[in-house]
Amino acid sequence: MAKPKNKSIHFISLGCPKNRVDTEVMLGVAKMGDYALVDEPDKASVIVVNTCGFIGEAKKESIDTILEMSEYKKLGTCQRLVVAGCLSQRYPQDLAKGMPEVDHFLGSSDMLRLKEVLEGKAERMLVGNPADWIVRASDPRVTTGPRASAYLKIAEGCNRTCAFCTIPEFRGKQRSRPVDDIVREAEQLVAGGTLELNLISQDTIAYGRDLGKAQGERLADMVRRVADVAGVKWVRLFYLYPETIDEALIDLLKSHPRVVPYVDMPLQHAADGMLKRMKRGHGTDRQKRVVARLREAIPELFFRTAFIVGHPGETDEEFQELLDFVEWARFDHVGVFKYSDEESCKSFGFEGKVKGVVAANRYRKLMALQRKIARQNNKRLVGREVDVLVEGPSEEHDLVMKGRHAGQAPEIDGQVYLGGGEVAAGEMRRVRITQASDYDLVGDVVDEQPRARARAGEKKRVSLRVV
């Protein structure tokens, strides 16, 4: 296919923050090719959908989005439709056969090959080996979202064998980035105005193990080096597997002024029988010890976790154990997912499948319990002063600004709505919390001099449609 004459491109990024980083790399590739990013698909000559293929709902959403975007080819505005990411990696031949309207398929490791597509030199099928690539500081990247916050991917792939998970199938084995390369990208992001670095991977606690003793560094060493980059205000860790966390990392979370006391640790369940069936490699006792150790060592800790309900074999008694565990642990943030029966997972062959209506009821019950706990936790913040990273106008009203305190991760946790002073996106401000709801807070700005003024004359941040 010839190179499109109208050099405009529209991106849709589906799924997790790791996918978003991949999309931002493709944005960088498009920018290097002098393509203009447009917010509306009807104005684009090229449309790129970066898909998620993790669970049934995500797969359906990806397919629906591809079909929606294919309509613009019929209208004649879109000359090329590109599908990338995990769904392409997982089902390349099925998609190629069932979606003739798609011009090119890129897998989860083929972000840089978008250049070939835009130059009109690419074959239709460009799905490679997922182990062939990991993002590097030298890769082109255009960050999206609030100016002062960015994701920093520290590794790719996963070596775990959890029974319910397909990620190693289409992301490959663990591949950690060298520390120097991570720090180099952190410096680049900060030079562009980033204040908050969110460290992400599939299995963050395993960072560096695959590099070997000669090359590898402990996770804590890497985090410290990132946090010591001049200009960084907050460093946050995501996806810590629930195993023994070394004291050096705990000390960073407790005392380093720029490593926020925030832990994201997907626990998935709390009953011994379920953890065994899920092949998590530990039981309830160790899980409780990890949670208790973190709570004891880091008094100001904010704890996010995730659970799966309706996994094959889950009994009423085991679900009650999960409810009791959540009541005991008092997590600040909890994500709950209904089990998705994926054909390539070990769990697919398990007996004792849980009916959909039962899983849905368990989901509602667990979410209701957590909503009550979250509201109680939030109310304890009323009257306290906290640092808030201002993100910009709220969705409710252009005159109401919003931000996040250290215990609120971007896009998945609550927000702080701001009053009592003028603020600008990209500032770090001192705020006194005055009201609390289930997930969000309201506060008044109390400092007179902002700690980090937005850069004068800075261009508007790229807008990316993220689902």
Helix (H, G, I), strand (E, B) or coil at 264: strand
pLDDT of residue 320: 97
pLDDT of residue 57: 86
Range 103-121 average pLDDT? 92
Distance of alpha carbon 314 from the chain centroid: 27
pLDDT at residue 293 is higher than 70 = yes
CA angle 40, 91, 464 (to 5 degrees): 20
Range 97-114 average pLDDT? 93
pLDDT of residue 312: 95
What is the spatial distance between Cα 297 and Cα 301, in angstroms, rounded to a whole number?
9
What is the spatial distance between Cα 27 and Cα 25, in angstroms, rounded to a whole number?
5
Helix axes 284-297, 316-329, angle to 10 degrees: 10
Quick one: pLDDT band at residue 3, thresholds 50, 70, 90? low
User: Residue 236 class from Cβ within 10 Å (0-12 exposed, 13-18 middle, 19+ buried)?
Assistant: buried
Token pair for 344: 């390539």
What is the spatial distance between Cα 341 and Cα 164, in angstroms, rounded to a whole number?
8
Residue 268's nearest CA partner among 336, 359, 189, 355 is: 336
Quick one: pLDDT band at residue 185, thresholds 50, 70, 90? very high
Helix (H, G, I), strand (E, B) or coil at 42: helix
Quick one: pLDDT band at residue 281, thresholds 50, 70, 90? confident
Q: Report CA torsion sign: 352, 356, 361, 363.
A: positive
Range 11-33 average pLDDT? 92
Quick one: pLDDT band at residue 452, thresholds 50, 70, 90? very low
pLDDT of residue 295: 93
Quick one: pLDDT band at residue 401, thresholds 50, 70, 90? confident
pLDDT of residue 215: 56
Q: What is the pLDDT of residues 211-228, one digit of tens each?
A: 875 555 689 999 999 999
Quick one: pLDDT band at residue 465, thresholds 50, 70, 90? very low
Range 174-183 average pLDDT? 94
Quick one: pLDDT band at residue 1, thresholds 50, 70, 90? low
Q: Could you give the percent of the chain with pLDDT greater than 90?
A: 67
From the CB of residue 169, how many other CB atoms can be counted at a distance below 10 Å?
16
User: Residue 396 class from Cβ within 10 Å (0-12 exposed, 13-18 middle, 19+ buried)?
Assistant: exposed
pLDDT of residue 4: 55
The Cα-based distances of 167 to 31, 53, 86, 312, 450 in angstroms read 29, 9, 9, 19, 42
Which residues touch 424 (CB under 8 Å, ≥6 apart)?
390, 450, 453, 454
What is the spatial distance between Cα 348 and Cα 165, in angstroms, rounded to a whole number?
10
How high does pLDDT run on average in the chain? 89
What is the spatial distance between Cα 119 and Cα 421, in angstroms, rounded to a whole number?
50
15: left (phi over 0), alpha (psi -120 to 50) or beta: left
Q: What is the pLDDT of residues 35-66, one digit of tens each?
A: 999 989 989 999 999 999 888 888 899 999 99
pLDDT of residue 421: 73
Distance of alpha carbon 236 from the chain centroid: 12
Q: What is the pLDDT of residues 418-432, one digit of tens each?
A: 887 788 888 889 999
Which residues touch 318 (CB under 8 Å, ≥6 apart)?
269, 271, 273, 274
Quick one: pLDDT band at residue 150, thresholds 50, 70, 90? very high
Q: Which of 240-249, 368-377, 399-408, 417-426 has the highest mean pLDDT?
A: 368-377
